[in-house]
Amino acid sequence: MEASKILIATDTLKFYYCTKREYLRPVKIFRTVQTFEQYLSAERNSGHTIAFVPTMGALHEGHISLIRIGLEHATCVVCSIFVNPTQFNQPEDLKQYPRTPDEDIALLFRAGCHALFMPEAEEIYPGGRKFQPEVELNGADKVMEGHFRPGHFDGMLMVVYRLLEITNPDFLVMGQKDFQQYSLVGMMISQLRLNARLIIGPTRREPDGLAMSSRNRRLEASFRKKAPIIYQALQYARARLGQLPVRKIESEASAMIDQEGFRTEYFQIVDGQTLLPLESADQASHVVACVACWAGEVRLIDNLSLKP
Q: Assign residue 128 a region (left: φ > 0; alpha: ψ between -120 and 50; beta: otherwise).
A: left
- Cα Rg of the chain (Å, integer): 20
Q: End-to-end distance of the chain based on CA atoms, in angstroms?
A: 51
Q: Which is nearer to ligand AMP, 23 or 97 (CB)?
A: 97
Judge whether 48 counts as a catalytic residue: no
Q: Which stretch binds ligand AMP (CB under 6 A): 109-117, 123-131, 205-213, 276-284?
A: 205-213
212 binds ligand AMP (CB under 6 A): yes
Which one among 67, 201, 265, 298 touches ligand AMP, defined by CB under 6 A? 201
Q: Which secondary-structure segment (H or E) carries 76?
A: strand 76-81
**Of the residues 63, 73, 152, 286, which is catalytic?**
63
216 binds ligand AMP (CB under 6 A): no
Q: Which is nearer to ligand AMP, 174 or 256 (CB)?
A: 174
Strand partners, 154: none
Count of Cβ atoms closer than 10 Å to residue 46 Cβ: 9
Backbone angles phi, psi at 26, to 5 degrees: -70, 150
174 binds ligand AMP (CB under 6 A): yes
Q: Which is nearer to ligand AMP, 55 or 268 (CB)?
A: 55
80 binds ligand AMP (CB under 6 A): no
* Cβ contact 267:257 at 8 Å: yes
Count of Cβ atoms closer than 10 Å to residue 49 Cβ: 15
Q: Which residues 6+ apart lie within 8 Å of 109 measured at CB?
A: 16, 18, 22, 26, 27
Which one among 114, 152, 162, 204 touches ligand AMP, defined by CB under 6 A? 204
Residues numbered 46-65 forming contacts with ligand AMP, rule: CB under 6 A: 55-56, 62-63, 65
Q: How far is the CB of 53 from ligand AMP (least distance, A)?
A: 7
113 binds ligand AMP (CB under 6 A): no
Backbone angles phi, psi at 61, to 5 degrees: -60, -30
Q: Which stretch binds ligand AMP (CB under 6 A): 21-29, 42-50, 103-111, 203-211?
A: 203-211
Interface residues with ligand AMP (CB under 6 A) are: 55-56, 62-63, 65-66, 174-175, 177-178, 201, 203-204, 211-214
